[in-house]
Amino acid sequence: MADFKLEAIKCKNCGSGLVVEINDCITYCGSCGSGFEIVHGELQPIEINFSSIAIPGNAEVVYKPFWLIKTNVQILERTAAGGFMKNLFGGSGSETSGTIAFYIPAFYCTLDAMKNLATVFTQKNPVASPQKYNAKLTGFAYGKEDAKKLCEFLLISFEAEKSDTMKTFRYNIDFNSFEILGIPFYKEQDGRFKDAVLGLEIN
């Protein structure tokens, strides 16, 4: 039986101990606000910020991680126009390219909940001034490569669910930047969570 040992993970910037749960691929230092992506056992810096509470409430506040991915999307071919790209690009619907900031839940939730959260947050882009907080942020189920795939999945889903029948949809996405955004959720007594920014509920 091979020997192994457990080592405490410490922040590369301030030396404080980092909280890492099983399968976490991102960790956050509540002492100095540094974020790290765990890549092949090494800590790589990544920007982590938090949204402030917009909807007052009395329940316990829990911060859940989202990927905030800034992209440039180019529509190469589309035979059934939908309203989603019109809303994001901010024009008449004839635009073929534009910048989109995708909000992708990085924590585990059902597919329906993930699509709902990602769709509404991406459309409304509600977080104007993210800040650093001394807060706990764990439960990272999806890494950077997963987040890229989820962006493409959502883009295709948005178009496929239009009233028109989509015959052709070709696109290109340039991923310009990746950061983590902690969104505050209220933990309700019935076990549900309601976000404190837009008021969306998840189980």
Considering its fold, how many domains does the chain have in total?
A: 1
The answer as to whether 6 is a domain residue is no
Per-residue pLDDT tens for 68-127?
A: 999 999 888 777 655 555 556 655 555 578 888 999 999 998 988 998 999 999 988 888
What the block records as the tokens of 80 is 């059934």
Residue 16 in any domain: the answer is no
What pTM value is reported for the model? Answer: 0.84
Q: Which two tokens stand for residue 118?
A: 């990602």
CB atoms inside a 10 Å sphere around CB 23: 10
17 in a domain, yes or no?
Answer: no
> Is 2 inside a domain boundary?
no
Residue ranges making up the domain that contains 94: 26-198
pLDDT computed for residue 75 by the predictor: 81
CB contact burial 42-58 (16+ within 10 A = b; e otherwise):
ebeebebbbbeeeeeee
**Interval 123-177: pLDDT, tens:** 888 887 788 877 888 888 888 899 999 999 888 877 666 655 556 778 899 999 9
